Structure 1
Amino acid sequence: MTRITALPLDQAPAGSRAALEGVQKALGFVPNAIKTLAHAPAALNGYLALTQALGKSSLSAAEREVAALATSDVNGCDYCIAAHVFYGEKAGLSKGDIEQARSGELNALAVLARQITESRGHLTDAQIAAAHDAGLTDSKIVEVVAQVTLLTLTNYLNNIADTDVDYPPLAD
């Protein structure tokens, strides 16, 4: 049972309504996670701003989904796993890639995202050196940290709220 209500547009605070309308326009629906974030306009708008900024990072859509899957698996967020399986497939990840991303075995980026999440950011010198040796630049490492941070927000919120999973989205 959901513990924090996913707000429909007409019940959302005024500061969240424009953002919800933008998500509806962009995705064709408003995911329950976004409707739950709508309780706090600052949190919703901050989440969307970071999402938009990371969409312009050097990480490809598939790489962002790999980090999302690895992070969500560690944090045990069923909602985000369902969402990022859906978006990972749209970004070109196979079912095998998705499973390997979740377990942190797909590539250096998946390894790094899992390590960051599992250690709460306390990586060893050897882990950073291994990321560099695998070809991850300092820029990519920082972007993976940002992606993990974004996912940790939604993972924790959805775990606390027990958000109803609405992925894959229903066709209208």
Structure 2
Amino acid sequence: MSRLTALDPEEATGKTKELFEILQREMGMIPNMMRVLGNSSATLNAYMCFNEGMSHSTLTSTLRELIALTVANANGCDYGNAAHSFVAGEIGLNAPTTDDARHGIHSDVKITAALRFAKEVLSKRGAVSDETIQHVKAAGYTQGEIIDIIAQIALSIFTNYIYVAAVTDIDFPKLAPIINNDSLNFK
């Protein structure tokens, strides 16, 4: 049971109502995650602006979803795992690819480097080593792309922490949690 209320869109007022109307138009629904964020119109607005901004980043939508999956799993966010697996499927990624991303791996070496970098950023709270930065650069990522990867990680942490603390009811197909005992260290 959710510890924070997912607002009923019919009862929303003010800025939250305006934002819900935008979400309804754009998504055709208002997921529970947005309804929980709607308890603070400032936070919902910040999320929507951050998410929109990242859609213009140097990262593809595929890589953004894969990073979100890696981060959600590392954070133990069942809602994020379910939501991003659903979105990944909507953009054409298959279940084995999304499951691999939850572990921080991919069949493409460059994408794996980004996902492993994400895990390292999480485990070190951003204080990654020179070697880690050199490794992600050697995989072919520019400085701008590295900044965008870190920003995507931050966006995912932002939402994951809210959904975990709120115990947000999952309104996407549920997934069994993946327990990843692998070291978060970047190697």
Q: Same fold (TM over 0.5)?
A: yes
Contact 1:102 1:110 in 2 (8 A): no
Higher helix fraction (1 or 2): 1
For 1:38, the equivalent position in structure 2 comes to 38
User: Which one of 153, 157, 163 corresponds to residue 162 of structure 2?
Assistant: 157
What is the CA–CA distance in structure 1 between the aligned matches of 2:23 and 2:62, rounded to whole Å?
20
Alignment gaps of 5+ in structure 2: 107-111, 175-187
What is the CA–CA distance in structure 1 between the aligned matches of 2:166 and 2:24, rounded to whole Å?
21
Deviations 1:62-100 (A, max 9, x none): 010011001101100000100000111122222221122
What is the CA–CA distance in structure 1 between the aligned matches of 2:27 and 2:154, rounded to whole Å?
22
Runs of 4 or more, structure 1, over 3 Å off, are none
For residue 118 of structure 1, report the CA deviation from its aligned partner: 2.0
Alignment of 1:79-90 (within 5 A): 79-90=79-90
Matching residue's letter, 2:33: A
Matching residue's letter, 1:123: V
User: Which one of 136, 141, 149 corresponds to residue 144 of structure 1?
Assistant: 149
TM, length-normalised to structure 2:
0.86
What is the CA–CA distance in structure 2 between the aligned matches of 1:41 and 1:113, rounded to whole Å?
29
For residue 108 of structure 1, report the CA deviation from its aligned partner: 1.4
For residue 11 of structure 1, report the CA deviation from its aligned partner: 2.7
Number of matched pairs: 169
Determine helix, strand or coil for the equivalent of 2:5.
Answer: coil
Task: Indicate yes or no: 2:93 matched with 1:93.
Answer: yes
- Does 92-101 or 79-88 show the bigger shift? 92-101
What is the CA–CA distance in structure 1 between the aligned matches of 2:147 and 2:90, rounded to whole Å?
25
TM, length-normalised to structure 1:
0.94
- Does 149-158 or 98-107 show the bigger shift? 98-107
Contact 1:108 1:131 in 2 (8 A): yes
Give the percent of matched residue pairs that are identical in Structure 1 and Structure 2: 34
What is the CA–CA distance in structure 2 between the aligned matches of 1:140 and 1:162, rounded to whole Å?
32
What is the CA–CA distance in structure 1 between the aligned matches of 2:77 and 2:21, rounded to whole Å?
25
